Structure 1
Amino acid sequence: MSWNRENKWRAGLVVLGVIFLFAAPNVFQLFTIINMTTAIAFAILALSLGLIWGYGGILCFGQTAFFGLGAYAYTVAAINFGGSTWAILVAILVAMLVAAVLGYFVFYGRVSDVYLAVITLTVTLILYSLMRRTSGPEYKIGKSLLGGFNGITSPPLNMPWDTSQFLFPEHVFYVAMAALILAYILCSWLVQTHFGRVSVAIRENELRAELLGYDIRLYKMALFTVGGGIAAVAGVVFCNGVGRVTPDVFNLYNTALTIIWVIVGGRGTLIGPVLGAILLFYLTSSLGTQAVLNNNLVLGAILILFVLLVPKGIVPSFTEWWDNRRALRTSRRKEVRMRRRRSRLAAANGEAGDER
């Protein structure tokens, strides 16, 4: 698939997203809108991992760490500032700072991919355990009690020019969709820049990229930091969708889910992780209404099936099938044209022979 064709696909997806942005609140009920906001938050989280893993080759088990840090930083900052505008910026900066510091020690320390996964998973579990132990009144940041395993009630988003005017769930959905569209546009632009092409080259062959003069540690750390910032945006959207943030945002289940979303949707694409997150979110939500099948069992079966049968994921497999189908149709058309041309030439030669 050429870059021009990819740009057309991305532009089409953005247009569809904008149409859905304005149509959904007028079609669906309030409960559905809240669920869709949560699904969008998970889609942004999956997009962040799809960026760093699919294009940078960085398998990170800690995207939920930045997701949770974004949610907690936003909530604490909003309570202390009395508004959400600056709190959103604080959440993104905190997550990016932590990602940059962690990335510096990991990538400049030449940590291998396996140990990178272990370290990021360990950081996530440490945050999970730490936040669960903050239930006492002494655990607070400014005016915000951390709340332990009960978490903190998240202040709703407000208008930037009026902190007393809060957004309703329908308006939060608009913000969530806008965040997803902007994050998708940012990632699409980033992977087409020189930085993005170098990141892909590093993913394919680190040694060759380094021999060409690129500082692979700096590129990896920068991509890792951007991914952390996007995950923080997902955390902000999530806590505004559900109205609360608890230590469960750091749990192992969410960590595994994020990786499954990317595997199912397809690495090396941006729309794949988004699609995988939304599909599996609604699948697990529908499974939660019955008692026959266990969610974890179903997700495990899906992961095994995709690893064995569809290792490229939904979007790359569909794209490959579609390209092959178009190529086959094109070759058949060329073959039909050649046959017609031969027939016309044979007929012309026959008429010339009769005249002689």
Structure 2
Amino acid sequence: MTHASSLRSWGLAAAGALCVAGVLLAPQVTDTFALLALTVYLVMAMLALSLAFVWGFGGILCFGQAAFFGLGAYAYAIGAINFGPGVAALLLSVAVPAVFAALLGYFMFYGRISDVYLGVITLAVTLILFNLANSTSGSEYRIGEALLGGFNGIPSIPTLTLPGHDSPLEPEGLFRLVGLLLIAAYVGLRLLLRTRFGQVVVAVRENERRAELLGYDARLHKLLAFALGGAIAGLAGCLYANWGAFVNPGVFSLAQSAQIIIWVIVGGRGTLIGPMIGCVGIQWMVTALGGQQTVDTGLVLGVVLAAFVMLIPRGIAPTVMGWFAPRARPVATVPERVR
């Protein structure tokens, strides 16, 4: 390991320790309202992280990441109502979108569907799930004890109860859980991208045909990366259902899908930290604009997207890093440059 790599590793370790300390200490210095707002920001940051990996490093243009987010939320709600809000319901919320992503990915990748059509298919699947969830308003639409509720959604979702605890998580505990899981997901993806699997995923993104000629199964690597992204998005959906104790078909909406794409573009495709920063910044802006009636929020998001595409096409994180290392190679061309 070179001296620069060693310093970078120590710096990342120190930053990680500070993040963990911040997550653990924040509830002690923050009021409940602000803590709830921070919690949903971190939940959405995890959703942004899932697409940052799938699109930024896997090269898979997915317009339907909201589908896995919504499946995770509904899976947790149904599991928590039927057999309690424990670890089993949490695991179900991760397994269902992961399996769904694997099945969808199998037909897309092994069917040799091009990137443009792949984006269209994932968007269409999200809209199908949105309309399907909206059409389940009758009392006959139930899974076990859980009424799906149609456009009204599923209210009063039990909050997660961790092993060894008799009571569900309070807002402080939920914030800590969300923060720690987000840090774990980020660190896990960074480590994964340094493995042979991660290197092959990036190589497939750069040149799929060359990776196949070198003997790697590009379709399998894309499938596994896609399923992993679905699992992370499902975990975010589970945490979202815990945050609001409610889920409705809006989690599958076109607006939700578009926002995730905007987060990644603004934050910087090809990085892990950038989309999370973009997500938190845009969510804060949307929340601030939500209290006034003068400016349309959707119009502001469109202006922000257009401005970044034209003026800062690389996104926030790569641009800022370029200021400090102008002679460095482009971000994320190899796993060692992962941010």
TM bucket by the smaller chain?
over 0.9
d(CA) in 2 for partners of 1:308, 1:73: 39
3-state secondary structure, aligned to 1:160: coil
Aligned 8 A contact 1:65 1:250 in 2: yes
> Is residue 291 of structure 2 the alignment partner of residue 317 of structure 1?
no
Change beyond 3 A, Cα 1:309–1:8: farther
2: distance between equivalents of 1:103 and 1:198? 18
Residues 325 and 99 (structure 1 numbering): CA distance in 2 closer, same or farther, change over 3 Å?
A: closer
Q: How many Å separate the matches in 1 of 2:5 and 2:48? A: 23
How much has 1:22 moved relative to structure 2?
1.6
Unmatched tracts of structure 2, length 5 or more:
329-339
Q: How big is each residue's C-alpha offset from its partner over 1:253-309, in whole Å with a ceiling of 9 and x where there is no partner? A: 110000000011111111111111111100110011111211111111111111111
Kept after mapping to 2: 8 A contact 1:56/1:220 = yes
Of 144, 159, 162, 1:159 maps to 162
The alignment status of 1:68 with 2:70, answered yes or no, reads: yes
- Hey, what's the Cα distance between the residues in 2 that align with 1:119 and 1:310? 29
The CA deviation at 1:120 is: 0.3
Does the aligned pair in 2 maintain the 1:265–1:275 contact within 8 Å?
A: yes
* Equivalence for 1:245: 247
Q: Which aligned pairs between 1:198-209 and structure 2 lie closer than 5 A?
A: 198-209=200-211
| Gapped regions of structure 1 (runs ≥ 5) | 327-356
Alignment of 1:103-114 (within 5 A): 103-114=105-116
Structure with greater Cα Rg: 1
Distance 1:161 1:274 in 2: 32
Measure, in 1, the Cα distance between the counterparts of 2:248 and 2:43: 15
Q: Deviations over 1:184-242 (max 9, x none)?
A: 11111111111111111111111111111111000000000000000011001111111
- Distance in 1 of aligned mates of 2:33 and 2:193: 36
> What secondary structure, in the 3-state scheme, does the structure 2 residue paired with 1:245 have?
coil
Is 1:186 the counterpart of 2:188? The answer is yes
Q: Equivalences for 1:22-33 in 2 at 5 Å? A: 22-33=24-35
CA apart distance, 1:10: 3.6
Counterpart residue number, 2:130: 128
The alpha-carbon deviation at position 12 of structure 1 amounts to 3.7
Deviation string 1:315-336 (CA, Å, 9 cap, x unpaired) is 000001111399xxxxxxxxxx
Given the two structures, how large is their TM-score scaled by the length of structure 2? 0.93
**TM-score, scaled relative to structure 1:** 0.88
1:83/1:158 contact within 8 Å kept: yes
In the alignment, the residues of structure 2 paired with residue 123 and residue 15 of structure 1 have an alpha-carbon distance, to the nearest angstrom, of 39
Stretches of 4+ moved more than 4 A in 1?
A: 2-6
**Counterpart in 2 of 1:335?**
none
- Cα distance in 2 for residues equivalent to 1:97 and 1:6: 36
The separation in 2 between residues aligned to 1:130 and 1:84, in whole angstroms, is 27
- Which AA in structure 2 matches 1:264? V
- Whole-angstrom distance in 1 between the partners of 2:84 and 2:178: 21
Please tell me the residue identity of whatever aligns with 2:197: F
Aligned length: 324
Q: Distance in 2 between matches of 1:291 and 1:56?
A: 40
Displacement of 1:85: 1.2
Q: Secondary structure at the match of 1:244?
A: coil
CA distance in 1, matches of 2:139, 2:255: 29
Task: Note if contact 1:158-1:165 (Cα within 8 Å) is conserved in structure 2.
Answer: yes
Judged with a 3 Å threshold, the aligned counterparts in structure 2 of structure 1 residues 106 and 290 are, in CA distance, closer, same or farther, namely same
1:142 and 2:144 correspond: yes
CA-atom RMSD in angstroms: 1.5
Identity %: 50
Aligned partner (choices 175, 196, 199) of residue 197 of structure 1: 199
Q: What does 1:198-347 align with in structure 2 at a 5 Å threshold? A: 198-324=200-326
Distance in 2 (alpha carbons) for counterparts of 1:48 and 1:111: 21
Distance 1:103 1:8, change over 3 A: farther
